Amino acid sequence: MFRKILIANRGEIAVRVIKACREMGIRTAAVYSEADARSLHVGLADEAVLIGPAPAVDSYLSMGRIVEAARRTGAEAIHPGYGFLAENADFAALCEEEGIVFIGPSSAALAIVGDKVRARQTMEEAGIPTIPGMKSVSRSPEEFRAAARSLGFPVMVKASAGGGGKGMRIVRDDGGLVPAVEAGRREAKSAFGDDSVYLEKYIEEPRHVEFQVLADNHGAIVHLFERECSIQRRHQKILEETPSTALEPGLRSKMGETAVKAMRAAGYNNAGTVEFLLDRDRRFYFLEVNARLQVEHPITELVTGVDLVRQQIQIASGGKLSLNQGDISQRGHAIECRIYAEDPKANFLPSPGRIVLLREPKGPGVRFDSGVLEGWDVPVHYDPILAKLIVWAEDREAACRRMSVALDDCVILGIHTTAGFLGDVVKHPEFRAGRTTTSFIPKQFSSWGTGAGEEDARRMALAAAAFDLLTRPTGRAGTPETGPTKGTATPWTTLGRWRAGGDDLYGL
């Protein structure tokens, strides 16, 4: 087993990997940019190396500096997390040359699956259903126009190196094609350092269902069932759950077997995910392989009881997979909500800034994977993910209720976050009924923040602000204060209720 691992990432995923390492008795080295000097992951690691200025291209995407940091700290392996260099075949190859273990698939497997176009070819050859699309990337507007016409609008612009919704655009007519390709290219360049894009037929209102796979370096492959990730905004997941309400046992095992077959065809090793689109007729299409630990991996951990990061590290150190397919089962239901620094009332615009108050939700079946601290400035340079709230319960309804309460208890003040919005998603009758597709957010939540609940909350916020001004302790901020001393025996009894114009608002 490794004695020291370098984590080439930041935020909540770096923290997650550090925790697994600590449990395994492995020392950790963090890397950080100048913008992250005071970040949580830097403080939690055994040591930390400054690798460059804030822009990711000069720090977290700089292969040379990260390998140099691994050398300097004596780390035998690098965990890339997700994003940044996680699916970069050149980086995996560089690690291999330098004799550092890359905790992920081999550079050869990455080269196949990391390139979406090549992955599609491989899957087609293996007899796995794929979405109709361009056979290769292109730079010529004429080729894009011709391809769009032959596929038929609407089409989807996708980044060849893509993931996380970056570089993706839906195009509904000829006029929108060239600007969409141009924008997709710029976004792909800044996110992945590769501006190759291609077109795929756009499937309307699909469900997004993916299968977690673990493959060791000795040929053993298992799947750990599905995650449904249909709730998306800007083609990026914000809520995931498992099991999927769309799969019955027959379809589930068929898709699981297909996922294993896909990974075998790609010569894949370590943890990975096979993404499928499920159309309205329950036909499924291979979408892509996510050759990394996924953001949403915790829900699989909660229903299968398997620690995926520990499995990744064991596999990378040459260990044989300790799991047989027959031993893996799903128990209960898990949901993850991604807490982003974004303003849901303003079309999910990024909301960087200082976190002035942080209260993490906790309780039975509640897990909070966080990369943030109170008093810390959320930098403008990176992905807006702050934390992930994950719950487990016996069944879906109980999990929804648990999530709803946990989101109410999730307090991040100073910036806008998606927590309140996700609370309304979880309470939505269509969501409760399990009718989730990738158009759920645009369809059901085109405007948010105007309902009656919102107005009640707004009034309470105003009352709280006024009460605070009237009673604010003059002492140092953060000093605990006792409440009014009179009537302390019955603080929980009702003295009044909301009334509108003298009438009882709740009809109580």
Residue in 350, 365, 398, 435 binding another protein, rule: CB under 8 A: 350
- Contact between 482 and another protein by CB under 8 A: the answer reads yes
Cα maximum dimension of the chain: 78
Smallest distance, another protein to C-beta of residue 460, A: 5
- Separation of first and last alpha carbons in the chain: 64
Which spans in 133-238 are helix H?
Answer: 141-151, 174-192
By beta-carbon proximity to another protein, the closer residue of 433 and 470 is 470
Q: What own/partner pairs with CB < 8 Å and gap ≥ 24 does 256-262 have? A: 256/211, 256/223, 256/225, 256/226, 257/223, 258/128, 258/284, 258/286, 259/211, 259/213, 259/223, 260/213, 260/221, 260/222, 260/223, 261/126, 261/128, 262/123, 262/126, 262/128, 262/286, 262/289
CB 118 within 8 A of CB 130: no
Residue in 25, 206, 357, 363 binding another protein, rule: CB under 8 A: 357
- Contact between 478 and another protein by CB under 8 A: the answer reads yes
By beta-carbon proximity to another protein, the closer residue of 250 and 480 is 480
What's the one-letter identity of residue 149? R
Residue in 101, 289, 341, 441 binding another protein, rule: CB under 8 A: 341
Angle between helices 116-125 and 107-114 (to 10 degrees): 90
Site residues (CB under 8 A) for another protein, limited to 385-404: none
Angle between helices 297-304 and 308-316 (to 10 degrees): 100
> Active site residue: 207, 233, 252, 292, which one?
292
Site residues (CB under 8 A) for another protein, limited to 420-439: 420, 423
Residue in 382, 392, 431, 440 binding another protein, rule: CB under 8 A: 382
Contacts of 28 (CB under 8 A, 6+ apart): 4, 5, 6, 7, 17, 18, 21, 22, 44, 45, 46, 47
Smallest distance, another protein to C-beta of residue 140, A: 22
Smallest distance, another protein to C-beta of residue 471, A: 6
Torsion, Cα 312 314 318 319, to 10 degrees, reads: -120
Smallest distance, another protein to C-beta of residue 328, A: 34
Site residues (CB under 8 A) for another protein, limited to 187-206: 187, 190-191
Site residues (CB under 8 A) for another protein, limited to 304-323: none
CB 132 within 8 A of CB 201: yes
Beta bridge partners of 272: 213
For the question of residue 65 being annotated catalytic, the response is: no
| Token pair for 281 | 């007729």
- Contact between 57 and another protein by CB under 8 A: the answer reads no
Find the part of the chain contacting another protein (CB under 8 A) among 66-74, 119-127, 254-262, 381-389. 381-389
Binding-site size, another protein (CB under 8 A):
81
Smallest distance, another protein to C-beta of residue 356, A: 4
- Phi first, then psi: give them for residue 13, nearest 5 degrees: -75, -35
Smallest distance, another protein to C-beta of residue 350, A: 4
Smallest distance, another protein to C-beta of residue 93, A: 25
CB 37 within 8 A of CB 58: no
Site residues (CB under 8 A) for another protein, limited to 15-34: none
Find the part of the chain contacting another protein (CB under 8 A) among 42-50, 200-208, 287-295, 380-388. 380-388
- Contact between 362 and another protein by CB under 8 A: the answer reads no
- Contact between 487 and another protein by CB under 8 A: the answer reads yes
Ordered strands of the 169-171 beta sheet: 169-171, 155-159, 197-201
| Token pair for 53 | 């200025």
CB 57 within 8 A of CB 75: no
By beta-carbon proximity to another protein, the closer residue of 412 and 441 is 412
Residue in 72, 359, 362, 443 binding another protein, rule: CB under 8 A: 359
Site residues (CB under 8 A) for another protein, limited to 131-190: 166, 183, 186-187, 190
Residue in 416, 437, 438, 440 binding another protein, rule: CB under 8 A: 416
Smallest distance, another protein to C-beta of residue 236, A: 9
Find the part of the chain contacting another protein (CB under 8 A) among 87-95, 199-207, 326-334, 347-355. 347-355
Smallest distance, another protein to C-beta of residue 488, A: 9
By beta-carbon proximity to another protein, the closer residue of 216 and 336 is 336
| Token pair for 383 | 């992905």
Site residues (CB under 8 A) for another protein, limited to 221-260: 234
- Contact between 497 and another protein by CB under 8 A: the answer reads yes
CB 163 within 8 A of CB 87: yes
Q: How far apart are CA 351 and CA 92, in angstroms?
A: 33
| Rg for the chain, CA atoms, rounded | 24
- Contact between 105 and another protein by CB under 8 A: the answer reads no
By beta-carbon proximity to another protein, the closer residue of 324 and 482 is 482
Ranges assigned E (strand) in 186-269:
197-201, 207-215, 221-233, 236-242
Q: Which residues are catalytic?
A: 292
